[in-house]
Structure 1
Amino acid sequence: MYNDLSYLEKDALKELFNLSMGRAANTMNEIFSKNIELSIPECIILPREEILKLHNINSTTITSVSQTFFSSTGDEGIGFLVFPQVNLERLVYFMTKEADLNPDSKEIQKEVITEFGNLILNACMGTIANLTMIDFKFNLAEFYEGELNKLVDFDRVKSDFETVLVIYVDYKIENENIEGYLLFMLNWSLIDYFINEVMKTI
């Protein structure tokens, strides 16, 4: 099931989320008065139990903002914006170095990633809604700091979210490159619906 996506389907998903990133970056540029570029080099789909094998976030402290969403198709899922802690610290530094703020402050880090999370997750779901004609409702964003395995733990997150859409996000801020991730934890039927609807638009 997880290896059945064609090259065209993978490319369509990547293009879809690149549209979202462009929209989010434009908003961020206005809010933060920074030259921010966002791009998607890769999208992959994994079974939930393999998420811990992801390079760079499986053995380190991560920070995340998540939102649970509900679709008009009757499905639901969770979107996570995830940074390895060291990457978040670099991100916050480049966002605050010209301001009278301490980039090491946990509260500042929380504010920055929450703002990024709201903008990026909403941009992604808004683009999906526009292209697929699916309506979404959202719960309030939740902040998390800790280990990745606890973030996606079956005791913490619904067990029927068996599929994870992993989106690698490259952030370019003032010519500095920082890597983060988007994780959408879904059931397979919703992934399949996304793909079918996206393919109709190309």
Structure 2
Amino acid sequence: MPDIVLNELERDALTELVNIGVSRAAASLRKMVGGEVLLSVPSIEVIGHGRAATLIREREGGELVAVWQDFAGAFRGRALLIFPQANSLELVRAVVGEAMPAEEVADMEQEALAETGNVILNSCLATMANMLQGSLTMSLPQVMRGHGGELLGTSELSPEEGLVLFLYINFSVRDRSIRGYIAMVMDLPSLGALKQLVGDFIDRVMRDEVEHGA
């Protein structure tokens, strides 16, 4: 699979695209929570399902919560926003407010997580697709719980067929520090299509720099 591996320039470009996407997501979340929201994606890796599950398991010993959406178009797969359970409750409290009783927070957890995941995943993927001059459609958000391997598995992809575009993501919501992960599970043709789009994007940027520099 050497042709699927992202080189350093492609990884940097993709990281920048995703950071623009999460910046837009932060602006949307700021309206939801009525306070400061900071999001950043410090690193991106393309790894196998098993390695992605191991990375999460090494960092997070307990149960995880994920919001997932399938996407199709210029490239296809499943996008997941993954949190440790404790972080997800922190995020829900930041969204619904401190004054709400604990039992009501629990009742709203599913809805608040789905809406937050929808905002972040849609912003990331829509920004990526737009800047790569492609288009994507996305399914409605679903919430599930489990461990790394369970969350990353899909009915359509076997571990041999797909790779995971794995992004660490740092949140600061209402002064709460919340960590999480974005995973995009794609088959090899889709990852190849994404790599090609990123390469075309880099070519356009470099061409523009040359033209403006001249």
Relative to the length of structure 2, the TM-score reads 0.82
Match of 2:41 in 1: 40
Q: Is the counterpart of residue 189 in structure 1 residue 185 in structure 2? A: no
Q: Report the Cα distance in structure 1 between the residues aligned to 2:94 and 2:30, rounded to whole angstroms.
A: 13
Distance 1:24-1:171 versus aligned 2 partners, 3 A rule: same
The total of aligned residue pairs comes to: 199
Question: Is 1:24 aligned to residue 25 of structure 2?
Answer: yes
* Alpha-carbon distance in structure 2 between the residues aligned to 1:176 and 1:59: 21
Give the alignment of 1:95-106 within 5 angstroms: 95-102=95-102, 105-106=105-106
Alpha-carbon RMSD: 2.3
CA 1:60 to 1:134, structure 2 compared with 1: closer, same or farther past 3 Å?
same
Quote how far apart the aligned CAs of 1:52 are.
1.6
- In the superposition, relative to structure 1, how do residues 97 and 22 fare at CA in structure 2: closer, same or farther (>3 Å)? same
Name the CA shift for 1:174/1:141 in 2 (closer, same or farther; >3 Å): closer
The one-letter code matched in structure 2 to 1:99 is A
Q: What is the aligned partner in structure 2 of residue 69 from structure 1?
A: 71
Partner of 1:116: 116
Return the offset for 1:103: 7.4
What amino acid does structure 2 have at the position aligned with 1:65?
Answer: V
TM-score, length basis structure 1: 0.87
Whole-angstrom CA distance in 2 between matches of 1:181 and 1:34: 22
CA distance in 2, matches of 1:100, 1:69: 34
Gaps of 5+ in 2: 206-214
The Cα offsets for residues 88-126 of structure 1, whole Å up to 9 and x where unpaired, read as: 122223334433242784332212211111001111111
Q: Which residue of 2 aligns with 1:178?
A: 178
* 1:89/1:104 contact within 8 Å kept: no
Identity value in percent? 26
Larger-gyration structure (1/2): 2
In structure 1, distance between residues paired with 2:59 and 2:84: 6
User: What's the CA shift string for 1:124-177, capped at 9, x where partnerless?
Assistant: 1111221122221222221101222222236x4532751100111110112332
Q: Structure 2: how far apart are the matches of 1:196 and 1:103?
A: 48
Q: Do 2:22 and 2:123's aligned partners in 1 also have CA atoms closer than 8 Å?
A: yes
Paired with 1:167 and 1:103, the residues of 2 have a C-alpha distance of: 32
**Larger helix proportion of the pair:** 2
Counterparts of 1:106 and 1:172 in 2: how far apart (Å)? 21
Name the amino acid aligned to 2:117.
Answer: G
Q: Answer whether contact 1:57 1:148 (CA < 8 A) is retained.
A: no
Change in Cα spacing, 1:161 to 1:196, as seen in structure 2 (3 Å) is: same
Give runs of aligned pairs for residues 156-175 of structure 1, distance below 5 A: 156-159=155-158, 162-175=162-175
| 3-state DSSP of counterpart to 2:157 | coil
